[in-house]
Amino acid sequence: MEFRFFDPSAKTEITHGDLPHWEQLNAYYFITWRTADSIPVGVLERWQVEREAWLWVRGIDFRLEDWSRKLEELPDAAHREFYQRFTARWHGMLDECHGECVLRRPELSEIVETSLRHFDGDRYALEAFVVMPNHVHVLAGVPGRGEMKMLCRNWKNFTSMRINKALGRKGQFWQWESFDHLVRSPASLKKFKAYIAENPVKARLREGECRSG
């Protein structure tokens, strides 16, 4: 399978929840999803309020469907500021290891790894992944257009069912929405691989508290 980097001129499917989701044909994605208790509600709400205020000052109404496209049109300096203040900070909140962090348990993180590897080379191409105590990072090439969100949904549905069964629980395990980012260049692909490899060290995890590949 051959995959492409983000092309601003190519057809892009954009959907929204609390986070924007951009998809292009045969693209590379950096994807993150988290457990339902991974970020305290009050902390997340403050982050959302600050982000919306930042966008509003720059003439971007978060309530509109095309707000993330308008964000992409901002000058490079503003785009970098948004990344540092909001995207990088969001990932930093995950690395603080809030919540129960049940994925520290090897038998539970193995469920996630098994799911990720199951259709590797068939329905997608894994470049790298790490299962952290309360979240998962995946770097993958996904064929087709509009397949990435369905792929994430399948990973999350299967693993939540298996993990809840192992814990003797029912109900929501993962946060409903995932964070995903179209990879823009070979340099960005290399950067995301390094981020995934270094994430356990950055979060000060001990050996056995995460699972990567």
Name all domains of the chain by residue range, CATH numbers in brackets.
13-203 (3.30.70.1290)
CA atoms within 13 A on the CB side of 48: 12
pLDDT of residue 75: 84
Taking residues 67-84, what's their average pLDDT?
81
For the four alpha carbons of 142, 147, 149 and 150, in that order, the dihedral sign comes to negative
Closest-CA residue to 68 (of 155, 179, 163, 194): 179
pLDDT at residue 124 above 70? yes
pLDDT of residue 169: 92
CA-atom Rg of the chain in angstroms: 17
pLDDT of residue 14: 67
pLDDT of residue 19: 65
pLDDT of residue 15: 67
- Tell the residue number behind the tokens 């971007």, with chain if given: 60
pLDDT of residue 82: 84
Mean pLDDT of the chain: 89
pLDDT at residue 112 above 70? yes
pLDDT at residue 100 above 60? yes
pLDDT of residue 110: 97
Indicate the pLDDT class of residue 102, thresholds 50, 70 and 90. very high
Taking residues 120-132, what's their average pLDDT?
95
pLDDT of residue 36: 92
| Sheet of 135-142, strand order | 179-182, 27-34, 135-142, 125-131, 211-212
**What Cα–Cα distance (Å) separates residue 120 from each residue in 3, 116, 126, 188, 213?**
14, 7, 6, 21, 12
pLDDT at residue 21 above 90? no
Convert the pLDDT of each residue in 27-75 to its tens digit.
999 999 999 999 888 888 898 899 899 989 888 888 776 777 787 778 8
pLDDT of residue 140: 96
Convert the pLDDT of each residue in 157-209 to its tens digit.
999 999 999 999 999 999 988 888 889 899 999 999 999 999 999 889 998 89
pLDDT at residue 114 above 70? yes
pLDDT of residue 180: 84
pLDDT of residue 192: 93
Q: How many residues are there in the chain?
A: 213
Query: In angstroms, how far apart are the furthest CA atoms of the chain?
Result: 50
